[in-house]
Amino acid sequence: MSNFKEGSDSEDFGIDYAPAVESTSLLNIKEKYGLFINGDFLDTSSSKFFKTLDPSTEKPLAEITEASAADVDKAVKAARNAYEKYWMNMSGAVRARYLFRIARHLQERSREFAVLETLDGGKPIKESRDVDLPLAAAHFFYHAGWADKLEYAFPQRKIEPHGVVGQIIPWNFPLLMASWKLAPALACGNTVVLKPAETTPLTALLLAEVIQDVDLPPGVINIVTGAGETGSALVEHPNVDKLAFTGSTEVGKLIQRSAVKRNLPLTLELGGKAPHVIFEDAALDQAIEGVINGIFFNQGHVCCAGSRLLVQESIAEHFIDRLQKRIDLLRVGNPLDKNTDIGAINSKSQLERIDKLVNAGIEEGAEVYKPSCSLPENGYWYPPTVLTGVQQSHRVAREEIFGPVLVVQTFRTPEEALEKANNTPYGLSAGIWTEKGSLIHWMAERMRAGVIWANTFNKFDPTSPFGGYKESGFGREGGMHGLAPYLKTKRKRK
């Protein structure tokens, strides 16, 4: 009997995936979490709280302290004290040991961290297990290697840490963003006050346990949970020496205004609207997988997501048809199931934003394709979606949707592809698929994007700098370039 469905070029073996749900039994989530300041969790008796939810069920997981401006002040004082008392005089080799220890503890407890990340944020377990956790540990390992070699990274320069760094991170890669921020700051000799995002604070608080276990001197890392107001109190604090922010362009601009007034060094990693360009000679099977990964990885909650597909007109119809057939096979559902490809949307407000933008696209004339998948009743869900017939002037072609929504446009020549690719206020990442090396170089030299992938997408490594142009921010994270923002460098006098 043939396994081919009539009218379809994909095989159907009539096999359903049995559930393969990761156990949560190894988690020990507390009912309430205090702030992590000066090496300890503060008493919660007089605090204000908010709840963090599992977005796939809407069930509360824990109560989290909302740090006030006075709490932030306490954290900054602890960081200053730790800087002056321990960290600024410690040799790079000793600082490295702490970073190595954190990396090893993350590896040892990686399953626990991965399950918690998935529970608190909604991302598929196979992604937290295979991407977030290994990369988070790799960032600590990599920066541990630099801690005693900074003078080789900046030859002929006198280098010094800034002192106390304020860091604010978003909800899409909670532990990974914390690692991107903490590892270079510590390697370069700074102490830190970190504010995780309101909807995903739990892995940062588990990291606080690791920080205790590795005996990091108290106050070197402080974690203040809360919402935008807590972030703002950290930004405005007069005794912070440097700020690093990953999040939306809108909030990034507010922070920049505040930093400029005080002449504070600042790194901004902001939004994106990456072009993913497919030329007619591309290896189509691989390109389709690349496009799928580019937009549906982490439900599209990815700053560098390949959210604008630019496909050459000669292959557009065929390519989109195959892409839609591939999308039909994606499994949306329980993030803890190891077979899940697309998990839950991180929050109700994000779901509303996605829905609003897609509806705006439809109103402006786009055609929408969604597979007929059944979504769970509770929780926040959005099916993988493709919008075709999109014009450059449409909101969906210009604004970051930050969800599992791919916007398709076509082009005829490389010049037109380039023009469309660069026609955006953002400039974080881009993808190019073609067999021609010369065309890859021609495009890459002219594209205004901080990271450009060719015949692949979403490849990350701590040795490789990441960051944007234009409204995607400035400063780099990762690689040697990622050390510079955490140091004051002066030319050495001869």
Binding site for ligand NAP (CB under 6 A): 168-172, 195, 197-198, 227-228, 231-232, 235, 246-248, 251, 254-255, 269-272, 303, 400, 402, 428, 468, 472-473
* Beta-strand runs (E) in 147-213: 157-161, 164-168, 191-195
* 52 interacts with, out of ligand NAP, Mg ion, none, CB within 5 to 8 A per kind: Mg ion
The CA distance from 5 to 61, in Å, is 44
Which residue in the list 22, 66, 188, 303 is annotated as catalytic? Answer: 303
Q: How far is the CB of 103 from ligand NAP (least distance, A)?
A: 21
* 219 interacts with, out of Mg ion, ligand NAP, none, CB within 5 to 8 A per kind: none
Residue 345 CB: number of other CB atoms within 10 A? 26
Which residue in the list 269, 399, 400, 477 is annotated as catalytic? Answer: 269
Closer residue to ligand NAP in complex, CB, 140/171: 171
Size of the site for Mg ion (CB under 5 A): 4
* 265 interacts with, out of ligand NAP, Mg ion, none, CB within 5 to 8 A per kind: none
| Contact predicate 127/117, CB 8 Å | no
Closer residue to Mg ion in complex, CB, 361/379: 379
Closer residue to Mg ion in complex, CB, 29/214: 29
Half-sphere exposure of 251 (CA within 13 A, CB side): 19
Among the listed ranges 195-203, 311-319, 335-343, 464-472, the one in contact with Mg ion (CB under 5 A) is: 195-203
Closer residue to ligand NAP in complex, CB, 191/267: 267
* 170 interacts with, out of ligand NAP, Mg ion, none, CB within 5 to 8 A per kind: ligand NAP
Task: Please give the DSSP secondary-structure letter assigned to residue 431.
Answer: E
Closer residue to ligand NAP in complex, CB, 442/460: 460
Alpha carbon separation from 169 to 73, 88, 227, 289, 310 (Å, rounded): 19, 25, 11, 29, 30
| Residue 92: exposure state from Cβ atoms within 10 A (0-12, 13-18, ≥19) | middle
Q: How far is the CB of 228 from ligand NAP (least distance, A)?
A: 3
The CA distance from 160 to 150, in Å, is 10
Contacting Mg ion within 197-226 (CB under 5 A)? 199
* 421 interacts with, out of Mg ion, ligand NAP, none, CB within 5 to 8 A per kind: none
Residue with tokens 């608190």: 120
The CA distance from 241 to 393, in Å, is 41
The CA distance from 484 to 480, in Å, is 7
269 is catalytic: yes
* 274 interacts with, out of ligand NAP, Mg ion, none, CB within 5 to 8 A per kind: none
The CA distance from 377 to 393, in Å, is 35
The site map against Mg ion for 22-61 (x = CB under 5 A) is: ------------------------------xx--------
Structure tokens given for 397? 């072609």
Q: How far is the CB of 122 from ligand NAP (least distance, A)?
A: 14
Give the CA angle between residues 61, 202, 258 to the nearest 5°. 125
* Closest among 302, 391, 387, 401 to 356, alpha carbons compared: 401
Among the listed ranges 36-44, 66-74, 119-127, 264-272, the one in contact with Mg ion (CB under 5 A) is: 119-127
Give the CA angle between residues 429, 331, 391 to the nearest 5°. 45
**Catalytic positions, please?**
269, 303
Which stretches of the chain bind Mg ion, using CB under 5 A? 52-53, 120, 199
